[in-house]
Amino acid sequence: MKATRILMGMPITVEVVDSSVTAEALDRVFAYFEYVDEKFSTYKETSEITRINEGRLDLAQSSADMKTVFALAAETSRETNGYFDIARGGKYDPSGIVKGWSIYNAAEILREQGFKNYYVDAGGDIQIAGKNRQGENWRVGIRNPFNLEQIVKVLSMTDCGMATSGTYVRGAHIYNPRGSQTVVDEIVSLTVIGPNIYDADRFATAAFAMGREGIHFIADLLGFEGYMIDRNGQTVMTRGFEGYTIHDEAH
């Protein structure tokens, strides 16, 4: 069973292969994303993060999930030498941590119901478990940032997470939080594969902010692989990335 809905400003797709799946199981996942959007969207006047940013709510009085996200953001900042920062211009935008965190939690809703074979894809960032309908590893494509109709890599994946940070959908929006706070423009796409989507997403965001050096940061992380495309179309990948690559078209 597979369904796609537009939530959090992007397409979210959930597919569960297990024969015991019901529409209600998928509805629970989408309901969770609706909850996350209502709480963390910086575009919603009524959201908790907006109330914090406007001084109408003190972080100390915020919800447990809000405090968790702020704690995870602080931890990620420490782990990336300050290349991850949810504060900018006196406001907070936790989307760089919330996206992967929420995808991971949504996938956990499926796992806790006993499902073994599924994926949750929110705007191209994916948590994957088990096998696809053919009983094979899931196949995931990486888009060409210069031609979104073209897939440059097809990956064979199971029981992991994959996230891509890039400028080709939202434009240049990732800043180097250290030094000049400038927009990063020397690379256009950085894909990270990790043990889960939470870690893959947060480290992809931080590594992108590092520019060309980001791929080396990923290479030094145990259990992670990365694939970078710079603004000239040159690619660099970590040593183990090719092990995920196959050469047919994406499903």
Cβ neighbours, 10 Å, residue 242: 11
For residue 146, what are the domain limits?
2-246
Tens-digit pLDDT profile for residues 114-172 = 999 999 999 999 999 999 999 999 999 999 999 989 999 999 999 999 999 986 555 55
Report which DSSP code applies to 8.
T
Tens-digit pLDDT profile for residues 189-211 = 999 999 999 999 999 999 999 99
Domain annotation covers residue 125: yes
Domain annotation covers residue 8: yes
Question: Please, what is the average pLDDT of the chain?
Answer: 93
The distance from CA 34 to its chain's CA centroid, rounded to whole angstroms, is 17
The whole-number pLDDT of residue 195 equals 98
Domain annotation covers residue 107: yes
Instruction: Give the model's confidence band at 46: pLDDT under 50 very low, under 70 low, under 90 confident, else very high.
Output: very high
**d(Cα 154, Cα 245) in Å, to the nearest integer?**
6
Give phi and psi for 35, each to the nearest 5: -60, -45
The whole-number pLDDT of residue 139 equals 96
Tens-digit pLDDT profile for residues 48-67 = 999 999 999 999 999 999 99
Q: For the domain that residue 190 is a member of, what is the CATH number?
A: 3.10.520.10
Domain annotation covers residue 251: no
Cα torsion 229, 9, 170, 62: sign: negative
**Structural domain tally of the chain?**
1
The whole-number pLDDT of residue 65 equals 98
The whole-number pLDDT of residue 180 equals 58
